[in-house]
Chain A
Amino acid sequence: MAARKLSLKQKYGHFTRGLDWEPSYQKKEDIFPFASYEGIKVHDWDAWEDPFKLTMDAYWKFQAEKERKLYAVIDSMAQNNGQLGITDARYLNAVKIFIQGVTPLEYQAHRHFAHLARHLPGAGLRVAAQMQSIDELRHCQTQIHTISHYNKYFDGIHDFTHMHDRLWYLSVPKSFFDDATSAGPFEFLTAISFAFEYVLTNLLFVPFMSGAAYNGDMATVTFGFSAQSDESRHMTLGLEAVRFLLEQDEANVPIVQGWIDKWFWRGYRLLSLVGMMMDYMLPKKVMSWSEAWESYYEEAGGALFADLARYGIREPKYAEVAKAEKGHVSHQVWSIFYNYAQAAAVHTWDVDDQHLAWLREKYPDTFEQTYQPRYLAWRKQAEEGQRFYNNGLPMLCQVCQIPMAFTEVGDPGTISFRVSEHAGDKYHTCSDGCKDIFDHEPEKYVQAWLPVHQIFQGNCGGATLPEVLDWYHINQGADNLDYVGSPEEAQWNKWMEGRRPAMPIAAE
């Protein structure tokens, strides 16, 4: 008689709960040393419901199918000079930000979900964490393979892991993830799986993947599709994990709320880089940062937190500040990059009239009043041969590590300065959100590796800009400075000669 086939549910049961056992000669707390110190109480790990019930054999099958499709597209891109299909070489700066800033985080996520797959006491959650760990490694690899095609033809991509560990603006995503991986397992789950992957992820992936689609970057679009079904699994894990913690014990509610407040704000600050990319780096726009924030946070997040209210969870503290700032942050971050284009591995440029018109239309209450005059003054200086550069190094926020360029709510002319005292030293932060995070755990944030301070301590290759840029592995004169006048621009224009009537310009 042929062997009876197991149902999916039975199979899943064997693969997860069936592989778990009650320890007999070691104490559970010795086996899972990270499980209790954060104060989270779990009474019944079996109450964890697995939303996807994915078994390893099915997982390999699905992923292999997606890989085959992705690598077919990557091959075709390589064979057909796919890089010539993008709208304009300025677009590549979005890809550079992605590979320098996001891809290394995928690898960090891979490592830390592997850690959770070992250290969470519940077998169901461990299996989910293990699959996510493998997903994240796959995302990291497929991003590297996809973008390596552009690395053959464009600057700033060649040494992204080295740059991620050293560059001033990349310390923003790096320190974000370091903060999460140095937290306990439940804070990490709330930070990455819930606050980032569930609440804010659309603000990361939609702009990059739609931006890629709008700008002719088929490779990145295909990578996005390949990751999409994984992402929906990750989002569900995030939501279910937080619900599980909230249902297990009432005492978990204030702890989880504190993490939601913190990681909403950290994620929001990190995404200001994405806002800048959307509003400035895409030759053909998807939507403005402000519009994205409205639909992906204010509407979707509003519904989510209304739903979580029955557990006693409220909207993240300072969500109102984020709402009030949405007409400003992307412009303020672009100003940072324009100030320091000499020290970045992305290009900046004069914002041309068509883009100015688009920005006026998308930001009717803020752009023309505050930012357009600044850009026009910079344009005038550049036309006079005095391209404006900031010759000093910026003051950084101790928590988010972004140069302190953000202004007070309702007063776009005044920088928002906050300061705390700890053990006799001052610590400066950019906002009430970042100050709260510092004040809650000063012992953690006094250790922040702030790139500007490290330069002045003599830890970054030398005291002069060229020495520091060498230490960053920035190929000077190619990776940095303005797009106009760059080798990348010269190459692009040469490729486009005879192919296109004129450089396409974006704003719709």
Chain B
Amino acid sequence: MAVASLKPGYAGPTRDRVDNFHGAQLVYVHWEEHLNFCAAITLPLPADTPFDALAGEILPSLYAADPDWADVDLGAARWMLDGRDWSPEPGRSIGEQGVGHKSLIRFWTAPAGNA
């Protein structure tokens, strides 16, 4: 529904257009069942970021603050992209695999010892 406004056709700038992020797009990642990290985490990532780099470098830099992380096998993780099951391929870029501006990636890892 349109905003009730003094002048018909009211609109304002879209503050978070992808062009405003200097070549990156925003991607949110969330490690499920680990709410010691209070919320999903925002990352500015170029679309051509290989999934490998996300899983192998970026996620550990964020989540290693949890001692459980050392036992995590991301190869066995279950992934969800924007509400759908997702099977990312390590060698391909995130952009090629459907990750867009302000996409949300959620993942579940097996509890330690069960992996």
Name which of B5, B22, B42 has the most chain A CB atoms within 10 A of its CB.
B42
Q: How far is the CB of A204 from chain B (nearest CB, A)?
A: 23
Which residues 71-115 of B sit at the A interface, judged by CB distance below 8 A?
82-83, 100-104, 106
B37: which A residues are within 8 A, CB to CB?
339, 390, 392
Chain A's closest residue to B12 (CB) is A447
Cβ–Cβ contact A392 & B1, under 8 A: no
Name which of B15, B20, B82 has the most chain A CB atoms within 10 A of its CB.
B15
A34: which B residues are within 8 A, CB to CB?
6
Which residues 417-455 of A sit at the B interface, judged by CB distance below 8 A?
417, 419, 423, 425-428, 439-441, 443-444, 446-450, 452-453
Q: How far is the CB of B81 from chain A (nearest CB, A)?
A: 12
Q: What is the size category of the interface that chain B forms with chain A?
A: 35 or more
Query: In the docked arrangement, what's the CA distance between A427 and B16, Å?
Result: 10
Assuming the A-B contacts A443-B3, A457-B20, are A394 and B65 also in contact, with contact meaning beta carbons closer than 8 angstroms in the complex?
no
The verdict on A404 contacting chain B, using a C-beta distance below 8 Å, is: yes
A188-217 interface code vs B (CB 8 A; 1 in, 0 out): 000000000000000000000000000000
Query: In the docked arrangement, what's the CA distance between A209 and B107, Å?
Result: 44
The verdict on A458 contacting chain B, using a C-beta distance below 8 Å, is: yes
Cβ–Cβ contact B1 & A389, under 8 A: no
Assuming the A-B contacts A391-B65, A395-B41, A447-B13, are A419 and B82 also in contact, with contact meaning beta carbons closer than 8 angstroms in the complex?
yes
Cβ–Cβ contact B17 & A394, under 8 A: no
The verdict on B54 contacting chain A, using a C-beta distance below 8 Å, is: no
The verdict on A332 contacting chain B, using a C-beta distance below 8 Å, is: yes
Cβ–Cβ contact B61 & A452, under 8 A: no
* CB < 8 Å neighbour of A394 from B14, B35, B38: B38
Which residues 15-66 of B sit at the A interface, judged by CB distance below 8 A?
15-18, 20-22, 24, 26, 28-30, 32-33, 35-44, 61-62, 65-66
Assuming the A-B contacts A450-B16, A452-B42, are A441 and B6 also in contact, with contact meaning beta carbons closer than 8 angstroms in the complex?
no
Chain B's closest residue to A456 (CB) is B44
Cβ–Cβ contact A393 & B41, under 8 A: yes
Cβ–Cβ contact A425 & B35, under 8 A: no
Q: How far is the CB of A132 from chain B (nearest CB, A)?
A: 23
Assuming the A-B contacts A446-B12, A447-B14, A453-B42, are A37 and B6 also in contact, with contact meaning beta carbons closer than 8 angstroms in the complex?
yes
Cβ–Cβ contact B4 & A413, under 8 A: no
* CB < 8 Å neighbour of B24 from A377, A428, A456: A456
Cβ–Cβ contact A37 & B4, under 8 A: yes
B62: which A residues are within 8 A, CB to CB?
390-392
B28: which A residues are within 8 A, CB to CB?
395, 428
A141-179 interface code vs B (CB 8 A; 1 in, 0 out): 000000000000000000000000000000000000000
Which residues 370-408 of A sit at the B interface, judged by CB distance below 8 A?
374, 377-378, 381, 386, 388-396, 403-405, 407
Assuming the A-B contacts A403-B39, A443-B10, are A390 and B65 also in contact, with contact meaning beta carbons closer than 8 angstroms in the complex?
yes
Chain B's closest residue to A255 (CB) is B4
Q: What is the size category of the interface that chain A forms with chain B?
A: 35 or more
Query: In the docked arrangement, what's the CA distance between A443 and B36, Å?
Result: 34
Query: In the docked arrangement, what's the CA distance between A386 and B67, Å?
Result: 10
Cβ–Cβ contact A425 & B3, under 8 A: no
A339: which B residues are within 8 A, CB to CB?
37-39
Chain A's closest residue to B83 (CB) is A419
Chain B's closest residue to A392 (CB) is B41
A20: which B residues are within 8 A, CB to CB?
none
Cβ–Cβ contact A378 & B15, under 8 A: no
Chain A's closest residue to B61 (CB) is A391
The verdict on A414 contacting chain B, using a C-beta distance below 8 Å, is: yes
Query: In the docked arrangement, what's the CA distance between A448 and B13, Å?
Result: 9
Chain B's closest residue to A403 (CB) is B39
B4: which A residues are within 8 A, CB to CB?
37-39, 184
Cβ–Cβ contact A425 & B101, under 8 A: yes
Q: How far is the CB of A244 from chain B (nearest CB, A)?
A: 20
A335: which B residues are within 8 A, CB to CB?
35-36, 38
Cβ–Cβ contact A413 & B35, under 8 A: yes
Q: How far is the CB of A193 from chain B (nearest CB, A)?
A: 19
Query: In the docked arrangement, what's the CA distance between A450 and B17, Å?
Result: 12
A312: which B residues are within 8 A, CB to CB?
none
* CB < 8 Å neighbour of B40 from A395, A427, A444, A456: A395
Query: In the docked arrangement, what's the CA distance between A391 and B62, Å?
Result: 6
Chain A's closest residue to B13 (CB) is A447
B104: which A residues are within 8 A, CB to CB?
395, 417, 419, 428
Cβ–Cβ contact B67 & A381, under 8 A: yes
The verdict on A490 contacting chain B, using a C-beta distance below 8 Å, is: no
Cβ–Cβ contact B12 & A444, under 8 A: yes
A-B contact list, 15 entries, CB within 8 Å: A37-B5, A38-B4, A335-B36, A390-B41, A391-B62, A403-B38, A415-B35, A425-B16, A425-B101, A426-B101, A440-B1, A443-B2, A446-B14, A447-B14, A453-B42
The 8 closest A-B pairs by CB, nearest first: A392-B41, A395-B40, A394-B39, A426-B102, A403-B39, A447-B12, A456-B44, A405-B38
